[in-house]
Amino acid sequence: MNIYENMGLKKVINASGKMTTLGVSTIDKNVGDYMKEAAMNFVKMDNLIKKSGDILSQYTGGEGSCVTLGSSAGIAISIAACITGKDIAKIEKLPLNEGLKNEVIIQKGHAINFGAPIIQMIRLGGGIPIEVGQSNKVEPFHIEEAINEKTAALIYIKSHHTVQKGMTSIKDMVNIAKEYQIPLIIDAAAEEDLKKYIGLGADLVIYSGGKAIEGPTSGFITGRKDLIECCQLQYKGIGRAMKTGKENIMGLLKAIEIYNQKDMEASIKVQKQRMEWLIKQINTINGLEASVIQDEAGRCIYRAKVKINSDILGVDAYYIIRELENGNPSIYTRNHYANIGIINIDPRPLKDGEEKIIFERLKDIIKNLG
């Protein structure tokens, strides 16, 4: 039994992905040991924040970096930095924003809910979100015509949650930001390439420490040195409510070190092999049809896509999802397309042998329908 089962909670098999609702990731033992040692010692936190930023920048190519509690805190802090600069009086005033340059332009197809609204994270940082274009079509002129003397920043959300077509590209956003001399923030929370968006010309890029990197609850902002200094100063204001502990900062640093040494191609190959085994087994079940698909946002993630044939089974995908979750252990799948009869299985969080448990559970659920 694991520590949560000892508390009376049900064991969970995470086939959904690096999801906050399921605790995001599990950490490497070396990361845990690093965190334990960090938690048992004292450090000057201001110095640790600055030093950790220097170390993180070695992995990102940013001029500077600022550790955060997570990527959502990173959004609020980045917005606040663009609004206040280094003015402590303004920093202490937020989230009240009267009289400040505070408008943040976001494409309408990017105004998503990721468990909470992106718009709310912007407002927490003192920003006034300005949604432009339509939910399925945003042209560069939509962004440009919204720019005025109150515009503090542009923000681009790189996520599978966003509309994947019809949006203004990062390249065009970079060009607009440079032409109008407005900072461009990219929320790349779950992205795996830590240098890509700085290389494309973003001013600030936000990452989760607990998703692709598989660290503890944490995150960081990386980018322009002057803006990063403004981000760090937010810990004298709204950042105080979002501070992360010394042990999580050190855990993040160890996790990113391990992540940087990881053989990604070998890891992806193993994940695909596990999913290919799983779909072969699932395709022996009448009423289910499985295939391997790539992540919809273009990342090198290969999942098992399972199509539920309601005409054959007499139940829909939501029934299968409930049965998986109500069992013991609870199995959580990726259900963004359940409305069209599809559930996806993500290999990244699965422990050895858990794909076999998922197959057996699916087989039992279908068998019991009879």
The domain spans of the chain are 3-22+263-369, 42-261
CB 329, CB 360: distance < 8 Å: no
Predicted pLDDT at 20: 87
What is the pTM (predicted TM-score) of this model? 0.92
Residue-wise DSSP of 241-278: GG---HHHHHHHHHHHHHHHH--HHHHHHHHHHHHHHH
Residue 152, SS3?
A: strand
Which of 196, 160, 201 minimizes the C-alpha distance to 294?
160
How far from each other are the two terminal CA atoms of the chain, in whole angstroms? 33
Predicted pLDDT at 240: 96
C-alpha span between 57 and 205 (Å, rounded): 11
CATH class name, domain 3-22+263-369 = alpha beta
Band of residue 295 on the pLDDT scale cut at 50, 70, 90: confident
Residue linked to tokens 């930095």: 81
Q: Per mean pLDDT, which range of 30-34, 103-107, 261-265, 272-276 is the poorest?
A: 261-265
Domains 3-22+263-369 and 42-261 share a fold: no
Q: What is the pLDDT of residues 164-189, one digit of tens each?
A: 999 999 999 999 999 999 999 999 99
What are the angstrom distances between the C-alpha of 365 and each of 38, 171, 321?
46, 47, 10
Fold of 42-261: Aspartate Aminotransferase; domain 2 (3.40.640)
* Helix, strand, coil share (%) of the chain residues, nearest 5: 45, 20, 35
Q: In what side-by-side order are the strands of the sheet with 342-345?
A: 288-294, 302-308, 342-345
C-alpha span between 12 and 369 (Å, rounded): 24
Q: What is the pLDDT of residues 224-269, one digit of tens each?
A: 999 999 999 999 999 999 999 999 999 999 999 999 998 888 988 9
